[in-house]
Amino acid sequence: MVTRVVGASFTITAYSGDTDYSVVVKTGNEASETTTFNLVPNEMLIFNREKALFKRLDINSREILNYVPTIEASYKFEDTPVATVFQQIGKSYGLKIDMEESLFNGCELTSNLTDEPLFEKLNIVCNAVGPGTSYVVEEGRIRIISKGCNL
């Protein structure tokens, strides 16, 4: 089972002696490469190795804590350069965030980001920069599109 993840918090359980492998998605999207399953939050995908069958299950937000540990990642930014904010968000999710950093010269952010999903964090930062700023997801990386700070 090969898993491709873009901005998700998830847990994969796949021990060699287990009959079933599982992928549980807390936030974001997940897809396997050969047989594709797009999972949404609070879904679980189980692969039975002996039968070579996939099974999708809905799980409630209480049950998800049994599979996906809570990670208390908090970002407190005070007069922090926006490029640095984007870089820290990308680093925490293991994603490459591409941007033209010179567009954000002199642009700083004061904000607290906590348990928001990745794309909500990006929306908050993009909205703070100005209406000419957005992002796109391309092949496992994120590209920031901007006309500059507060334009």
> 28 or 137: whose pLDDT is higher?
137
CATH code of the domain containing 24 = 2.60.120.1440
Rounded to an integer, the average pLDDT of 87-108 is: 87
pTM, rounded to two decimals: 0.57
> 14 or 1: whose pLDDT is higher?
14
Model confidence pLDDT, tens digit, residues 55-97: 888 887 667 666 665 555 568 899 999 999 999 888 877 778 9
Model confidence pLDDT, tens digit, residues 47-58: 777 887 788 888
Answer whether residue 129 is part of any domain: yes
Residues 80 and 131 in one domain: yes
CA–CA separation, 77 and 52 (whole Å): 47
Inter-helix orientation angle 118-129/82-93, to 10° = 170
Domain around 108: 75-145
Answer whether residue 150 is part of any domain: no
Residues 95 and 135 in one domain: yes
Count of CB atoms within 10 A of residue 119's CB?
16
CA–CA separation, 83 and 80 (whole Å): 8
Residues 111 and 53 in one domain: no
pLDDT for position 30: 46
Structural domains counted in the chain: 2
Answer whether residue 111 is part of any domain: yes
Residues 91 and 134 in one domain: yes
Residues 53 and 88 in one domain: no
pLDDT for position 98: 93
Phi and psi torsions of 47, nearest 5°: -115, 120
Residues 88 and 49 in one domain: no
CATH code of the domain containing 123 = 3.55.50.30
CA–CA separation, 103 and 124 (whole Å): 18
Answer whether residue 108 is part of any domain: yes
Count of CB atoms within 10 A of residue 144's CB?
23
